A and B are shown apart, each in its own frame.
Chain A
C-alpha cells in the first residue's frame, strides 16, 4: 500500500511523475496548472531521482524539449492549459508523425482565446480529433479524481511506450485545483541507459558501429512512402481502438436514462443521478475513461436498454457527436453544459435530463 496524502490534482500529477521514474518535465506556467511545475521545482527531484525539471521560454519550446528527449528514449512529459496546449500543437503533430512516446497533461480552462481561468471541457475536439495538422490521434485519458490524476501518469507512459505515441491527460481546472486524498504508488526507478537502449532501440542515443544510424523525423518527401507511413499510423490507431477502451458504469443495471460524462462532469452526473433516484428517476452514468479510443460499443449496448442519453459536458457539446455516432443517431441524444468556466450544478444536470430527455 502506497502513501496516503491530501493533494491538489496538479500536485498529484507532479508527485506521480517523480514516483513513476520520469526523466524530465519541461513546462511553462499557465493558470490553472502552474502547481505542476511549482511542485516539481519545490521538490527538487533532480537531487533525488535525477529527474530534470526545466521552465522553458514558451509552451512551444517546452514541447520541443519533450520532442528531443523523447526521441532519445527518455520518459518525458509536459503540462499546460488550453491556450498553452494550442501552442504545443505543432510539436504534438510532429511527435505523432515521428512516433514519439510522451505524456502531455491539459488542465483545461474556458475559451476560446484567452478565455478564462475557470474549468472547462471545451478542448475535447482538439484533444480527441488530432489537434494539430495531419491525420493522427492522441491516446486521451480523462481523470475524474485526484487519484486518477496520479494514476494516469504511469498508465499514460505505459500506453505511450506501448504504441510509440503521445498520450494526453485531459483534465480541467476543477480536477487540477481541487484537493482530495490520494494513494501514491511506490517509487519506480528511472530507466538506466542500457534499459533505454533495450526498450527503445529506435531512439537517437548515439550510433555505435554495430547498428545503422537512428533517424527521428516526420518528413518523407516521397508521397508514396509518406502514404505507407500514414497507413501504418492508422493501423496503430485501429489497434488502440480495439484494445485500449476504458470506461466506468455507475448505476446502469436498472437505468432507464443515461448520462454520458467524463472528468469533472462525471462527478456532477453522479450526484445528479442520486438526486434523480430520490425522485424515482432511474438514471445511470457511463463515464469514458479513455476519450480516444471512445467507448462506442458500451454506449451502443446501453442504448438498447435506455430511453435516452444526455451528454453532460462543460462545453457547447463536443463529445455528443461521438455519442450520436456510437448509436448511429438511432436514439434521442441531447447535450447539456455550462460554458466559459461556469460549472453546472447537479440540480441543473438533473433538470436538463428531465426537460430534454424524459419530458422532451
Chain B
C-alpha cells in the first residue's frame, strides 16, 4: 500500500502546485480565514495571464496589511482607505502597468469611502479586490461598515442597532451605479465551486484592465472571520451562507459596463 502511494505521489504526477507568485512566508491569517484563498487565486490569475512581472499591487490597512509578505510581486502598502488613490497615482503615471488594490471592508467601505467612490467614478483602469467579512479583524473584532443588523462585535456587543449605529453599506451595489465601473461582481471562496467562480471573476477583472483603457473592475469577496465572529471555521462558513449571503447576494452586478438585470 505504502509503495503504491509513493508511486503516485511524485513530481511527474502533480496536477496542482503552488504558484511561484505566492512567497513561502507563513500566512499571518487565522486558520479558516478566506484571505489566504483570495490571495492565492489572485496570484494564480496573474501567473496564468503572464502579467506578474508587470503588476504592482497595493496592500491596505487591516488583516491583509501584510499582503506584500505573501504576494511575490512589487507591492506598496497604503494608508488606511487610500489604496484607490495610491493605485490612481501609479496607473496614471505607468499606464501600461497592471495595478490592483486588495482591501478589506473597514478600509474600503468606511475610512476609504471617498477614495473608493471617486476612483470608481473617474473610471480608473484598475482592479479592486474587496474582501468583506463584516468586521474589523486586525484590531480585534470591532463593528465594520458592513456588519449586519443585529450582528455582535466588540463595539456592538449587544448587536448592531441600526437606529443608533447606522445601516450596513453595500459598497458593491453603490459603485455599480457609477459610470466609471466596467465589471462589478460579488463572489465567495468558502467552497471549491465558489473558489473557481471567484477566480474566473478575478481573471475577467484583470483581462478587462489589459484590454480596455478605462473602467474600474471591482470584485467583492464575501468572506468569513471565524476569530472575530467567535465561531469555528466550519460554523463561520455556515453562518456566512445563512446570514451574509441573503444581505450580500453573490453574482455579477455589472458586466461590460451594463447593470445585470435580475
Interfacial residues, chain A to chain B (CB-CB below 8 A): 23-24, 26, 52, 54, 56-58, 60-62, 64-72, 74, 76, 90-91, 94, 98, 204-209, 213-219
The 10 closest A-B pairs by CB, nearest first: A68-B89, A65-B89, A68-B86, A217-B77, A64-B85, A204-B74, A69-B89, A57-B118, A64-B82, A61-B85
- What is the distance, in angstroms, from B39's C-beta to the closest C-beta of chain A? 14
Whole-angstrom distance between the Cβ of A66 and the nearest chain B Cβ: 6
Residue of B nearest to A69 (CB): B89
Q: List 23 A-B contacts (CB under 8 A).
A: A57-B114, A57-B117, A60-B85, A60-B115, A61-B88, A61-B115, A64-B115, A67-B82, A68-B87, A68-B88, A71-B90, A72-B76, A98-B77, A204-B76, A205-B97, A206-B73, A207-B53, A207-B74, A213-B68, A213-B72, A213-B74, A214-B75, A215-B68
Determine the chain A residues whose CB is within 8 A of the CB of B118 once the complex forms.
56-57, 61
Beyond A52-B92, A67-B89, is A216–B82 a contact (Cβ under 8 Å)?
no
Q: Is the beta-carbon distance between B53 and A208 smaller than 8 angstroms?
A: yes
Which residue of A61, A69, A98, A219 contacts B82 across the interface (Cβ within 8 Å)? A61
Give the CA-CA distance A164 to B173 in the complex, in Å. 41
Looking across the interface, which residue of chain A has its beta carbon closest to that of B57?
A: A204
A258 CA to B175 CA in the complex, in Å?
Answer: 60
B49 within 8 A of A: no
Q: Does B93 contact A (CB under 8 A)?
A: yes
Given contacts A68-B87, A72-B90, contact A207 B72 (CB under 8 A): yes
List the A residue with the shortest CB-CB distance to B54: A206
In the assembled complex, how far is the CB of residue B101 from the closest CB belonging to chain A, in whole angstroms? 10
* Chain B hits for A72, CB < 8 A: 56, 76, 89-90, 93-94, 97
| A65 and B86 contacting across the interface, CB-CB below 8 Å | yes
B75: contacting residue among A60, A61, A67, A204, CB under 8 A: A204
Binary interface encoding of chain B residues 93-131 relative to chain A, with 1 for a CB under 8 A from any of its CBs, else 0:
110010000000000000000110110000000000000
CB-CB under 8 A for A213 and B73, given A56-B85, A60-B82, A206-B54: yes
Complex CA distance for A26 and B93, rounded to whole angstroms: 11
B interface majority secondary structure: helix
Whether, in the assembled complex, B33 has its beta carbon less than 8 Å from a beta carbon of chain A, the answer is no
B residues less than 8 Å from A66 (CB atoms): 89
Residues of B close to A67: CB separation below 8 A: 76, 78-79, 82, 85-86, 89
Complex Cα spacing A175 to B73, Å: 44
Q: Which of B89, B94, B97: most chain A CB closer than 10 A?
A: B89
Contact residues in A for B77 (Cβ distance below 8 Å): 98, 215-219
**Inside 8 A of A52's CB, which chain B residues have their CB?**
92-93
B65 within 8 A of A: yes
Task: Say yes or no: is B145 at the interface (Cβ < 8 Å to chain A).
Answer: no
On whether the beta carbons of A207 and B52 are closer than 8 Å, the reply is: yes
With CB as the reference atom, state the residue of chain B lying closest to A75.
Answer: B93
Chain B residue numbers with a CB within 8 Å of A70 are: 89
In the bound complex, what is the Cα–Cα distance between A69 and B58 (angstroms)? Answer: 12
- Measured CB to CB, the closest approach of chain A to B48, in angstroms, equals 17
Distance (whole angstroms) from the CB of A166 to the closest CB of chain B:
14
Task: Check if A64 sits within 8 Å of B75, measured CB to CB.
Answer: no
Minimum Cβ distance to chain B for residue A155 (Å): 22
Quick check: is B55 within 8 A (CB to CB) of the other chain?
yes
The reply to whether A213 and B89 contact each other, CB–CB distance below 8 Å, is: no
A65 pairs with B76, CB closer than 8 A? no
One of A65, A206, A214 near B92 (C-beta < 8 A): A65
A94 to B66, CA, bound (A): 16
Task: Assess A68 versus B52: contact at CB under 8 Å? Given A206-B97, A217-B68.
Answer: no
Point out the residues of chain B lying under 8 angstroms from A213, CB to CB: 68, 72-75
Give the chain B neighbours of A208 by CB distance below 8 A: 53
Given the known interface contacts A57-B115, A208-B53, A213-B73, the answer about A69 and B85 at a Cβ–Cβ threshold of 8 Å is no
Q: Is B76 within 8 A of A68, CB to CB? A: yes
Residues of A within 8 A of B89 (CB): 24, 26, 64-70, 72, 76
Q: Is the CB of B76 within 8 A of A24?
A: no
Q: Mark B210-231, 1 if CB is under 8 A from A, else 0.
A: 0000000000000000000000
Chain A min CB distance to B231 (Å) = 26
Q: Which residues of A are found within 8 Å of B97, using beta-carbon distances?
A: 72, 205-206
Q: Which residues of B are found within 8 Å of A23, using beta-carbon distances? A: 93
Q: How distant is A22 from chain B, measured CB to nearest CB, in Å? A: 10
Least distance between B96 CB and chain A CB atoms (Å): 9
| Contact present for A206 and B93 (CB under 8 Å) | no
Give the residue name and chain of the A residue nearest to B72 (CB). A213
Q: Which among B54, B59, B75, B86 has the greatest number of chain A C-beta atoms within 10 A?
A: B86
